[in-house]
Amino acid sequence: MKRSEPMTSRLWPVLLLLFVIASGCRTYGGYGTEDATLAQIEQANEQFTAALSRAETEAQVLRAAVGRYPALAPVAAGYEETLARHRALIARHEALLEQAAATSGLFAWIMQTRYRTISRIFGGLLAEQQVVYDRYLDAYESVARLVGAPVAWINAVTTSPRSRYYVVPPQYEAIRQTPTVSIRDLLGS
């Protein structure tokens, strides 16, 4: 009997540690937030679609300006590529939203895969949208520099919004921001 007691006393902490590790990876997230996250995905898609119409208008202005400013030709070509990427991402993001909404079932509930899947989709979607928005801002900055816009215009394009991290993480706030200066403004200056 004495020989088995030390083995049992050493085995309990190991078993307890294994139990905590095994159960801990299934206890995060969820809590009924999946529907709210789906609504945020839908809202982000709507904003991204609305941004496309503004970007198409800006592309027309930029195409027209190439005759007056030949140095803008590479910027216009890059803007057109970004516009094509924007259109492709809208279709992809709609498919991702459908995929996220279709994730269901008992297994998904037990393993929290619905929460994880929706969260991954939302994070990836926002990252892809941010890349497109950053490319548009790069084009604005290039236009401002190539046409000799005043420093105030350049700063309006390149300055990031002041972070309010305690309310909204800066990367999400940056996605909501739209440039206050248009290409038409930059070319008219």
Q: Please, are residues 64 and 76 in contact by the beta-carbon 8 Å criterion? A: no
**Residue whose structure tokens are 């929706």:** 118
Q: Tell me what the pLDDT averaged over the chain comes to.
A: 78
User: Could you tell me what percent of the chain has a pLDDT over 90?
Assistant: 30
104 DSSP 8-state letter: -
Q: Give the lowest-confidence range in 64-68, 142-146, 176-180.
A: 176-180
User: Could you tell me what percent of the chain has a pLDDT over 70?
Assistant: 68
Q: What is the pLDDT of residue 78?
A: 96
- Mean pLDDT throughout 113-120? 81
Q: How far is CA 130 from the centre of its chain?
A: 5
